[in-house]
Amino acid sequence: MNISWTVLLALATSLCCPVTARAWGPEAHRLVAALAERQLSGAATDAVRRLLALEPGATLASISTAADDTRTAVTARWHYVNLTRDGGCRYVAARDCADGQCVVAAIEAQIAVLGSAAPDLDRLQALKYIVHLVADLHQPLHAAFADDRGGNRYQVQAFGKGSNLHMVWDLGLVDHWPGGPKALRVEVAALRVSPAPSSPPDWAAESCRVASAPDFYPSDRRVEGAYLTRWQGTLRMRVALAAHRLAGVLERTLGSGR
């Protein structure tokens, strides 16, 4: 029986780590990073490349999964935020991230480091977190609810196998995209998005609203072709928005050539 490395990694992680520790899979992270890089100005591109040169051969896409590869018990909490079900998907820092240990606060803190006069190795580390966490925050279940651990406790039958809804959005929808992940890349690259200016708290609220849609949690606990068809437009847009906003963060922080 052939088992993909993605499945093995998912299984190993589920056995050794908290269920909230998963994040969008490598394909989605690399796609967001690659699309963001294409949107940078020359000055921002040069600044990014200068930092990446500290690790010869690194690209934005190649560092996009580093925050998953090096996560600890502390930094695992940087990948998500729990909102309240009766809060209208409004992020309130004092309530939802009181200790600063959530994806919204982590992005804001790492942007501050990247734009500072800190040593370049620290700024490269901040870049790795920003590239990863901005993408994570656009996966709807990374800004959802604690009572089911962002869909990790919502068991489903997905594409003929037992899974949970969080894993479906992390990996399953991308892996089962019609034509495969390469087709998704082409489709997302063709989108043109120009959202109003926003910030990480807004992105959290936006993801929460997606996860709160009446049919986001399939009532029959089945994720098959119909579910993908229903949500593929949303998935495309979440990836496109993540790339656009990541590019915006890097442009504002590094566009002066710092």
Q: How confident is the model at residue 194 (pLDDT cuts 50, 70, 90)?
A: confident
What average pLDDT does the segment 224-240 reach?
Answer: 94
Pick from 145, 139, 161, 134: which is nearest to 83 by CA? 145
| pLDDT per position as a tens digit, 169-191 | 999 999 999 999 899 999 999 99
pLDDT of residue 16: 36
Q: How confident is the model at residue 10 (pLDDT cuts 50, 70, 90)?
A: very low
pLDDT of residue 257: 65
pLDDT of residue 1: 39
Q: For residues 205 and 215, what is the distance between their CA atoms, to the nearest angstrom?
A: 18
Burial of 35-73, coded b for 16+ CB within 10 Å and e otherwise, reads bbbeebeeebbebbeebbeeeeebebbebbbbbbeebee
pLDDT of residue 21: 42
Mean pLDDT of the chain: 90
| CATH code given to domain 22-254 | 1.10.575.10
Pick from 129, 134, 112: which is nearest to 67 by CA? 129
| Residue percentage of the chain with pLDDT more than 90 | 81
